[in-house]
Amino acid sequence: MQVFNTLTKRKEEFIPLNPPIVTMYMCGPTVYDYFHIGNARSFIMSDVIRRYLEYKNFNVKFVMNLTDVEDKIIKKANEQNTSAQSVSEFYANAFFEDINKLRIKKANEYPKATAHIEDMIELIKELEQKGIAYNIDGDVYYDITKFNEYGKLSGKKIDELEAGSRVEISELKRNPLDFALWKKAKEGEPSWDSPWGKGRPGWHIECSAMSTKHLGDTIDIHAGGNDLIFPHHENEIAQSEGAKGKQFVRYWIHFGFLNIQNEKMSKSLGNFFNARDILKLYSVDAIRFFFCQTHYRGPLNFSEELLEASEKGVEKIKNFLLRINEEIDNVNSNETVNPFDINKYVIEFENSMDDDFNTPKALAVIFELIKDANKLLDNNHLNKQSILEIKEFLKKSLDDVFGIISFDEMKANVKSIEDDLIKLILDLRDELKKEKNYNLADKIRNSLNDLGIIVQDSKTGTTYKKKF
């Protein structure tokens, strides 16, 4: 398996530190608002990567943090005249609701920043003891000149960054690029006791402390959006490696930007969509299909036309699944009739996914299978064993790995439609009985009985049960 590592800027063979265990950390949301579809892409594609690693029999320990203390949360709380805790709890609950709707598997842990303040303080103390962090009147900063490899993830050079620095400049800092590890308490803001006085942690130290706490000093995979490479992930490396003196992350995985109608997604342009709003317009099947159609590292254009095309792609898959379910008992029972080589598609699927999780190529393999199998079905050249093998592969690929089709939900929907149809037929039968057309009413009852649906008439009405 080859994985593109942002740190080395090339594909590398994936070799976990302690196989079959894979430790994976994903930067989660800052819970001050509903997450947008750009975030949804990162969450879904990290979910697909995790699912595929599990498909390959790795034991993935997956951690996604929740940032529940941060400037944006405090600002929202002030706007709503409420507490930062109320804001973060409301949007944390909304986050869990939405990822559940998006079929994103639960993480092993969802650490919250506010529950790990002591861990952050201990990490800052380690940096201070090593002379990497410095305290100025209750504000603690990281001295980037003390970490020789600063910029190795983003490829940015310190002298160039200093010349055109976009970070907040403070006269207190030794260097304009030094970043806050601990912020001195301000009136009206949440704060905690620390060796440097009351205050709260900087954003970057949160992920370093939480990943170390739950996954260890060195982790296999750290994932997040491209916008987090600098400064967030760059600073995480500086903090963790500066404190622990060992490699922080073996493989850095980053997800490409999302554009809206060929323009960069932006609140100022009014083309900003929350994931829960999109879920009201399109199925989760189509949303996951849409994201899987483009390689996770590449940019992706989000548009109504592409979502509608994704709905049609999902419909084609579902139609095929319904067809093989209907025809499985009617196909040629001769096992020698055109045996379907399922291994060919399994190998192509795995080769695609092993090549840096190439989901569009893997999806193409599935559509090739559907096309080939449909041709054989048209000519009654697909036997029962082949159909069972096809169903098993599609369950593993489309459901277990991609999460595009939920076989359980499809089964439940078919059952619901079946029950609705039976009720409709029985209602029509009642009308026939009222019209005293007993011959046709009896014919319906007997035909249903032949199908394994036992109709029972009584003084209170008509009921039915199914024979199994």
Concatenated DSSP letters of 7-55: TTTEEEE---SBTTEEEEEE---BTTS--BHHHHHHHHHHHHHHHHHHH
Using the CB atoms, write b or e for 219-247: b if 16+ within 10 Å: bbbbbbbeebbbbbbbbbbbbbbbbbeee
Residue 236 labelled as part of a binding site: yes
In 3D space, the residue among 276, 277, 286 whose CA is nearest the CA of residue 307 turns out to be: 286
Residue 233 labelled as part of a binding site: no
Residue 241 labelled as part of a binding site: no
Note whether 137 and 172 are within 8 A (CB).
Answer: yes
Residue type, 245: G
In 3D space, the residue among 1, 464, 4, 47 whose CA is nearest the CA of residue 254 turns out to be: 4
Using the CB atoms, write b or e for 363-395: b if 16+ within 10 Å: bebbeebbebbeebbeeebbbbebbebbeebbe
Note whether 359 and 397 are within 8 A (CB).
Answer: no
Cβ neighbour number for residue 443 with a 10 Å cutoff: 13
Note whether 286 and 310 are within 8 A (CB).
Answer: yes
Note whether 33 and 91 are within 8 A (CB).
Answer: yes
Q: Report residue 268 as tokens.
A: 């100022």
**Length of the chain, in residues:** 468
Q: Per the annotation, where are the binding residues? A: 27, 207, 232, 236, 267
Residues tagged in the binding site annotation for Zn(2+): 27, 207, 232, 236
Binding site residue list for ATP:
267
